Chain A
Amino acid sequence: MEPLLMQADQLPQWTALAPALALGLTGLLLILIDSVDPDSSRPALLAGIATVGSLASLGLAGWFLSAGTGQAGTGGGISLFGDALVVDGMALFFQALFASVTALVVVASYDYLHDHPHRAEFYSLVLFAATGMALMAAANSLAVAFIALELASLPSYALVAFLKRDAGSVEAGLKYFLIGALSSSVFAFGISLVYAATGSLLLPDVYAALSGGVEGLTGVAAVGILMVAGGFAFKTASVPFHFWAPEAYEGAPAPVSAFLSSASKAAGFALAFRVFVVGFPLDAGIDWVLLFQVLAVVTMTLGNFAAATQEEVKRMLAYSSIGHAGYALIGLAAFSGGAGGDVLGASMAHLLVYGFMNTGAFLFVALAEHWGVGRTFDDYAGLASRAPMASVAMSVFMFSLAGLPPFGGFFSKYFLFMGAIDAGFWWLAAVGAINSALSLFYYSRVVKALWLNDAVGEFELGSTPTALYAAIVFAAVATVLLLPGFAPVIETAQSVATTIVP
């Protein structure tokens, strides 16, 4: 029987890609407007179009999710283009996440770029990168995975270097690009080795071939798998492919840092979850669960340790984002075959909550950059007296990132660690818990600086950037509401994750 979209075949199958298409078409539309009217003096129109496009994508993804498109209830995932793409619950979940972050970033950028000449390019680059991420979530073939990853990466390089008169931004962009090129080559090499061993690029076929045993080519397949994992480690900023992250996040415009550290990282995980769970069986010549355990522990420990010694808030957030990649890796590190859906879903839910709280935190940095208050913890001292609302929001993000109740980050971490314990990896949860305790140290430094320390000098804050403020407050509200509203999120995440487990 044909899989159903909605109740009946009311819509053609390809419309299941609508969330990704909405993002891509909006990007094209922005370029079109820019070529017709290169000196557009209507920034609100550009930002508005980008916002509407990302919200439309979010709406479509949310609609499909609630209508059960591509989920078990309506006949399972929808395969398109010769199985190269698959739209299922997990793809839609991540597409909703990307669209949310994109919307927040686009809204916030309106103020951040208030005197910048190339706004249309900026918005279209963001949307193209988001399109790439949306396709990463739906990729069912290694070739598509590579293309989608590049589609997400290339605009990102440009975005990091977007402030082209700023030496830091340009340098960060170049470093990001170079490490990205290296990682892409590792990834592409890995794909070619897997193809050599299995004769297919389609994930289910790869799975079947590897399960059947690849006579004499086990080593080839294993090296391929490890290199593929390297590609994902780059995208998710996991050790040892993390070196670009602190530099890129620090040099990039803060909204771009938010975008990269939240959406781009989540996209890497979306792809990694699908490729490893659907494509590589547990006994494919390499114990990839052990590999991810090593990566998870090293990544979360290194990220948190390094974050603890930073002087600059943005760089601290960059390392903390590496630490969170370590937490999210638990989804794969505690994966145990049939029952692995729960921990995978917990990881997805954590990435969703993280999408809001981390984006919000970087947007607060964007606000501080907009006001020009400086970059270090000390520069933030006493800011709460001038910007109480934003400071409350920032405190919410910090405590939520540390995993304290009553914020969304508490439950997402709780379920993640519980998932690890249920899967028998209590030590993984223990390492995560110790790292979370350590992270409270540097997160609370921000809160302390904002609220308790006295200002060193006078602030000249100037006007209140409405759009940036709105994005920050919205992210804070979402972070708080995700605590009481966590039940549907985790249920959705775990049920869609369970369906992809072969």
Chain B
Amino acid sequence: MAGIFDFGPAIVLLPFLSFLIAVGTALSGRDLLPKGGAIPGIAATAGSLVLSVAMAAAVAGGEVYDETIYTWAVGAVPGSDGLELTFGLLIDPLSSMMLVIVTLVALLVHVFSLGYMNDDGETGLPRYYAGLGLFTASMLGFVVADNLLMAFMFFELVGLCSYLLIGFHFREPGPPSAAKKAFLVTRFGDYFFLIGVVAVFATFGTAQFVGTEAAPGFPVLAEQALAGEFTANTFLGLGTEAWFTVVGLLVLGGVIGKSAQFPLHTWLPDAMEGPTPVSALIHAATMVAAGVYLVARMYGFYAVSPTALGVIALVGGFTALFAGTMGVVKRELKQVLAYSTISQYGYMMLALGAGGYVAATFHLLTHAFFKALLFLGAGSVILAMHHNENMWDMGGLKDKMPVTYYSFLAGSLALAGIFPFAGFWSKDEILFETLIHGLDGQPLLLVGYVFGLLAVPVTAFYTFRMVFLTFHGDARTEQAESPESVRWNVKGPLVVLGTLATVAGAVNLAPVRVLTGAHVDFLHAWLDGGFSDLTVHHYAEIDPYSSAYIGGELTTVLLGAAVSLGLALLGLGLAYRLYAVPEPVEHTDKLGSAKDLLYDNYYQDEYQVYLANRVVLPVARAADTFDQGVVDGAVNAVSSVSLFSGSRIRRIQTGVVSNYAALVTLGLTALLVVFGVLGGWLL
């Protein structure tokens, strides 16, 4: 029966096709396509969006899909059924939601690029659209992957595309270096991920996320192994649970790299060197989202490992606060947004680590919209400002760019977590989940909660510092006096995303449900459908957490919401006092040396460079010496010995046939004597 799911591969293949078209155009060297190749990209992502929505509708109707499409390697493994490496499609509530997010943001980014790249007279457009197409296709392939290895492969493709796009302006000094940094830092994390993939195969013999009743996926097998129903291979002499924690943390290495979590977050601010629409794509829907999505995808595996969950929560909470503080002092628009991204993904990790699967997914959804909005808004401002990104050169853009301003404001309110914008609901749910699970005797989560809570006013402060500096007050430069006007292709995406950033919170009004009892937590219900092993209530059963409240659920909800909203308003108010004036000054200078510390990102880059120069480089040199001296030396010795003996052997071959006859006879005699003695019939 041909159903909508049979079109699943097309979601991935359409953007890939647009990539091929753009590459073909670029290779032909002629201007074959109007708009430098944007049209095929827009058409492809629009097609993917339509298909994704249709998938989501089918999933809403209760259908799910998990099929292997292509088995590309089968290996026999002694003592097991053998190993199959496959490509397959997994469409369930989580992936169909993510498909809609990715295709929607990708479509809007493509449209926006018309304004940002084409109208700005950039060269190399086919290369740009080829990159966008492949980027989108890779991410979609990653989202629909039904096993960890396929996910890894597309994960790597995503990384490659981000490298290509960040370094788009490769003739300038900054972008290639930023691209290399992004590539290397994420590769460092992916290295652990790769080991993790191999470890998953070695442990369970499968890397399927879901699998079948007879051959379940590895998250279910992990659960069964802990219940004693399945024997998993463990290594390093570790017990089952300890080994699962190790495997989980290995995979987490890739997540930390891609989702820019401490300490591998350093690539992301530099990645701002890429074109702004690319930043929007990276931050909202593709690259960075991939990490968090991966944890959500295999959440069943992490849920059975309390240690791994604890690490995720702590890393996430710490990153949320840590990155937020660095955002406070930045001068450039996109830099502020970059640190806010790191911080927001920290929240998602905190939620995942704290058992808030729905909360994390919810924040992934709302963040995708408001962060894409903010980046596209920033892009609009940057266009208007002729690529000057310094906020101190702006000011007063509010009246000159009303569409940009109001949509950017909506995004900022969402980011700051102000009621009733989307970010408020999702951030509040994260904090709420962390709190109630933490109160039930999980001090680690309480620490994470405090981090998260402290990050709230910081976020509100830097967000509105950015808004006020950019749009309010008096214009501080000539460019800000008379900004370039932007066209529909910039404003359109802003309006769409602005609307979503305002109302997307409505998909999961968990506090309202608690207050009124009405079932308005739609996302919760959505994620509770599909494969029974991948549902919210299943995760709640297997994770190590239970809930405790301060004076009842209702009180806790209200208290939590009030505190986080209050703190957000506090931060906003402070920003208003300091920066919503006609002539703002750099109040952050009052921080003194702390400002330098923050501005230099706590010297994170410096210590990483130090590690590379002082630790890795000497080790690499030593390894090189070993390789040149010992390994190559051994090889060279073998070769000179063999060449020497070869030349000796040549001398035996005298060319005199009677010598040969003698040697043959002698050889035979020697064999006769030796084997005669050995056989016992001689002597």
What is the CA–CA distance of A407 and B296 in the complex, to the nearest angstrom?
A: 44
B585 in the interface, Cβ–Cβ < 8 Å?
Answer: no
Identify B647's interface contact among A183, A223, A246, A309, CB under 8 A.
A309
Give the interface centre of A223, A246, A294 by most chain B CB atoms within 10 Å.
Answer: A223
Which segment of B93-101, B220-228, B409-417, B648-656 sits at the interface? Answer: B648-656
Is the pair A305, B645 in contact by a Cβ cutoff of 8 Å?
yes
Complex interface residues of chain B between 639 and 683 (CB less than 8 A to chain A)? 639, 642-643, 645-647, 649-650, 653, 655, 657, 660-661, 663-668, 671-672, 675-676, 678-679, 681-682
B638 in the interface, Cβ–Cβ < 8 Å?
Answer: yes
Give the interface centre of A243, A244, A285, A287 by most chain B CB atoms within 10 Å.
Answer: A243
Give every chain A residue within 8 A of B642 (Cβ-Cβ): 304-305, 308, 438
Is the pair A308, B664 in contact by a Cβ cutoff of 8 Å?
no
What is the CA–CA distance of A287 and B676 in the complex, to the nearest angstrom?
A: 10
Give every chain A residue within 8 A of B675 (Cβ-Cβ): 222, 226, 286-287, 290-291
> Which residues of B does A touch, CB under 8 Å?
638-639, 642-643, 645-647, 649-650, 653, 655, 657, 660-661, 663-668, 671-672, 675-676, 678-679, 681-682
User: Given A218-B681, A308-B643, A438-B638, are A291 and B676 also a contact pair (CB < 8 Å)?
Assistant: no
A241 in the interface, Cβ–Cβ < 8 Å?
Answer: yes
Is the pair A306, B667 in contact by a Cβ cutoff of 8 Å?
no
Is the pair B681, A291 in contact by a Cβ cutoff of 8 Å?
no
Give the nearest-CB partner of B658 in chain A: A178
User: Given A223-B672, A308-B642, are A290 and B664 also a contact pair (CB < 8 Å)?
Assistant: no
The smallest beta-carbon distance between A370 and chain B, in angstroms, is 26
Give every chain B residue within 8 A of A230 (Cβ-Cβ): 668, 671
Give every chain B residue within 8 A of A202 (Cβ-Cβ): none
Is the pair A244, B660 in contact by a Cβ cutoff of 8 Å?
yes
A23 in the interface, Cβ–Cβ < 8 Å?
Answer: no
The smallest beta-carbon distance between A318 and chain B, in angstroms, is 10
Is the pair B646, A179 in contact by a Cβ cutoff of 8 Å?
no
Is the pair A222, B667 in contact by a Cβ cutoff of 8 Å?
no
What is the CA–CA distance of A306 and B675 in the complex, to the nearest angstrom?
A: 27
What is the CA–CA distance of A239 and B649 in the complex, to the nearest angstrom?
A: 12
Is the pair A226, B678 in contact by a Cβ cutoff of 8 Å?
no
Question: Dominant SS at the B interface?
Answer: helix
The smallest beta-carbon distance between A456 and chain B, in angstroms, is 23
Give every chain A residue within 8 A of B650 (Cβ-Cβ): 306, 309-310
The 10 A-B residue pairs with the shortest CB-CB distance in the complex, in nearest-first order: A240-B667, A219-B681, A309-B646, A243-B660, A305-B646, A306-B649, A175-B657, A308-B646, A286-B679, A309-B647
Measured as residues with beta carbon below 8 angstroms from the partner, the interface class of chain A is 35 or more
Is the pair A285, B655 in contact by a Cβ cutoff of 8 Å?
no
The 0/1 profile, CB within 8 Å of B marked 1, for residues 293-316 of chain A is 010000000101111111000000
Having A182-B661, A243-B653, A287-B679, one finds 17 other A-B pairs with CB under 8 Å, namely A174-B657, A175-B657, A178-B661, A223-B676, A226-B672, A240-B671, A241-B664, A241-B667, A244-B660, A287-B678, A302-B649, A305-B645, A306-B649, A306-B653, A308-B643, A309-B649, A310-B650
Give the nearest-CB partner of B657 in chain A: A175
> Which residues of A does B touch, CB under 8 Å?
174-175, 178-179, 182-183, 186, 218-219, 222-223, 226-227, 230, 239-241, 243-244, 246-247, 285-287, 290-291, 294, 302, 304-310, 434, 438, 441
The smallest beta-carbon distance between A14 and chain B, in angstroms, is 38
Give every chain A residue within 8 A of B653 (Cβ-Cβ): 243, 246-247, 306
What is the CA–CA distance of A304 and B649 in the complex, to the nearest angstrom?
A: 11
Identify A240's interface contact among B657, B663, B679, CB under 8 A.
B663
Give every chain B residue within 8 A of A243 (Cβ-Cβ): 653, 660, 663-664
28 A-B interface contacts by CB (under 8 A) = A178-B661, A182-B664, A182-B665, A183-B664, A218-B679, A218-B681, A219-B681, A222-B675, A222-B681, A223-B676, A226-B668, A226-B672, A227-B668, A240-B668, A241-B664, A243-B653, A246-B653, A247-B653, A286-B675, A287-B675, A287-B678, A294-B671, A306-B649, A309-B646, A309-B650, A310-B650, A434-B638, A438-B638
Give the interface centre of A230, A294, A441 by most chain B CB atoms within 10 Å.
Answer: A230
Give every chain A residue within 8 A of B663 (Cβ-Cβ): 240, 243
Give every chain A residue within 8 A of B678 (Cβ-Cβ): 287, 290
The smallest beta-carbon distance between A489 and chain B, in angstroms, is 19
Give the nearest-CB partner of B646 in chain A: A309
The smallest beta-carbon distance between A294 and chain B, in angstroms, is 8
What is the CA–CA distance of A227 and B669 in the complex, to the nearest angstrom?
A: 10
The smallest beta-carbon distance between A422 and chain B, in angstroms, is 12
Identify A291's interface contact among B655, B665, B671, B682, CB under 8 A.
B671
The smallest beta-carbon distance between A321 and chain B, in angstroms, is 14
Identify B682's interface contact among A219, A305, A308, CB under 8 A.
A219
User: Given A226-B675, A287-B675, A309-B650, are A240 and B664 also a contact pair (CB < 8 Å)?
Assistant: yes
What is the CA–CA distance of A239 and B671 in the complex, to the nearest angstrom?
A: 11
Is the pair A175, B660 in contact by a Cβ cutoff of 8 Å?
yes
Give the nearest-CB partner of B656 in chain A: A175
Give every chain B residue within 8 A of A222 (Cβ-Cβ): 675-676, 679, 681
The smallest beta-carbon distance between A133 and chain B, in angstroms, is 23
The smallest beta-carbon distance between B642 and chain A, in angstroms, is 5
Give the interface centre of B643, B649, B665, B676 by most chain A CB atoms within 10 Å.
Answer: B649
Give the nearest-CB partner of A244 in chain B: B660
Identify A178's interface contact among B657, B672, B682, CB under 8 A.
B657
What is the CA–CA distance of A226 and B646 in the complex, to the nearest angstrom?
A: 28
Give the nearest-CB partner of A308 in chain B: B646
Identify A285's interface contact among B646, B664, B671, B679, CB under 8 A.
B679
Give every chain A residue within 8 A of B664 (Cβ-Cβ): 179, 182-183, 240-241, 243
The smallest beta-carbon distance between B682 and chain A, in angstroms, is 7
Give the nearest-CB partner of B666 in chain A: A240
Give the interface centre of A227, A306, A310, A438 by most chain B CB atoms within 10 Å.
Answer: A306
Give every chain B residue within 8 A of A308 (Cβ-Cβ): 642-643, 646
Give the nearest-CB partner of B648 in chain A: A305
Give the nearest-CB partner of B671 in chain A: A226
Give the nearest-CB partner of B639 in chain A: A441
The smallest beta-carbon distance between A438 and chain B, in angstroms, is 6
Give every chain B residue within 8 A of A434 (Cβ-Cβ): 638
